[in-house]
Chain A
């Protein structure tokens, strides 16, 4: 394994800027790695070899011309297949979009290209980002690089697996209920859900519009900060985009890496423990809390009683919004069309196409959402879920009056075996127990690796939660924990992953 694929994004960008290596060499090394291991991992749905090499050549030409390069110029990235890419297939993990080639770039895609980031390809995901294991992809599951028979999390399992398999140093995910943080936790990588509204959703194929948020995935906290700064910022094409300056996230990560958390107040969420939480996950979590204390933070216990209702509220709100958003897949303007034999009506063709093009989880959620929004049930289900959303937001507000960040395990368990929960929706939903409240309230949260569970030697994630528009706190605290743990282990956690 060469250093080119093990380097961090920050190191790679510096080496390219200094002329120690060309962007083309870096891109080729990653394409070679994908060629060598992705048959086993299946992190990618589409590898854009020509596009990646041409983007890398453009960075090299810019450097040769003496132009200034951005902080991520020439760094390869794996893009979740839910963001549109002009001229490059985009499926959202669904048969209904198989073969579709978008005529436009998402704002996020555009910003990556403008930053000189080299997009290697599109990563596997649960269909329309609905799932916690990537098993709901219409194109087959992704393996967790720590143990290929286990799930890499979901819905952004492909992005997280690409990082852990050294196929890319950076990746993009989307987090509707935990789809960035949970894959980060179970693959030993870093994942951040930014404050809702700070990363544009234009060109992000919608699942649940009031919850969906794109964000950075990386192997280090600093790399996540660099990527986060590159993709964040106001976008007039997204009506929910917040018009505010991007926070100094890289500076916060650098400050955190010095290891001083004096004056930082940390709250441990009392409700995220107990039944259903794996012993080794709690052990590593509790050790992380001690590390925070050792770095100078004040730690107190915080109670958020409404959080235990977050999961049921989410499984009403997200399917309700999805049932409306996915109505656009009607077989008329793009995507799959089935049964158009000249005798059937448009309505029948739509129903046949959706039956053939959607997988079981998508169908379940469309039906559930349609039910929750039905007259007669609306108040009891969707209406009540909206009230729970208020109560959860109030729990956060009360907590953040006393503490700067909250912490919890990112997930109750480590990666489970592929197949174990595939046809048991209720069991699958539990994977997002600790991540969902932040989506409902719209605040920011990060998962950072905090060790291996002793019973199965699989990665555990520490979740750090900050208020809305205070994402910089995640980077300060996350980088401090990362530095302390790397120092304790003598190396980053991922070096303990078995060779592929």
Chain B
């Protein structure tokens, strides 16, 4: 399998919302290439007929009765917010000005 290139790492960093510096990119690209080489070994024994396991437990949805219960007050929920206004989280602009 091909290794991972510096361009790919830059693309993945953008997808991951990580504003990497150029020297970080160089360093990570080299390290990630080694790591990807090593972990690619999993394909050696992952035969067609082996079912995948995503979780150690057989998962089922867990429901609770839909009733109102005590929860955080707005002040508690906003206590850790970087910025808050009128009982809401204040965030930087999400859409453009136009």
Contact = CB atoms under 8 A, between A and B. Distances in A.
Interface of A: 100-104, 196-197, 210, 236, 239-240, 242, 306, 309, 312-313, 315-316, 323, 327, 330-337, 340, 342, 344-352, 354-355, 358, 360, 363-364, 366-368, 370-372, 374, 380-381, 383-391, 393, 425-426, 440-442, 468
Interface in B44-98: 44-47, 50-57, 59, 61-62, 64, 72, 76-77, 79-83, 89, 91-94
Given A364-B31, A387-B52, A390-B52, 19 more contacts: A236-B62, A242-B57, A315-B35, A334-B80, A334-B81, A335-B80, A347-B94, A350-B17, A355-B18, A366-B18, A368-B36, A370-B16, A381-B42, A384-B43, A387-B51, A425-B34, A440-B53, A441-B56, A442-B57
* Residue with the highest number of chain A CB atoms closer than 10 Å, among B4, B19, B83: B19
A240 B81 contact: no
B50 A340 contact: no
B45 A391 contact: yes
Contacts, number: 176
Given A312-B40, A340-B82, A390-B50, A196 B19 contact: no
B54 to A, nearest CB: 6
Interface of B: 1, 4, 8-9, 12-21, 24, 28, 31-32, 34-36, 38-47, 50-57, 59, 61-62, 64, 72, 76-77, 79-83, 89, 91-94
Contacts of B93: 345-346
A270 B50 CA distance: 23
A337 B42 CA distance: 38
Contacts of A336: 82
B20 A239 contact: no
A442 B13 CA distance: 31
* Residue with the highest number of chain B CB atoms closer than 10 Å, among A104, A236, A331, A387: A387
A391 B50 contact: yes
Given A347-B17, A354-B18, A309 B44 contact: yes
Given A347-B17, A367-B18, A380 B59 contact: no
B18 A316 contact: no
B57 A371 contact: no
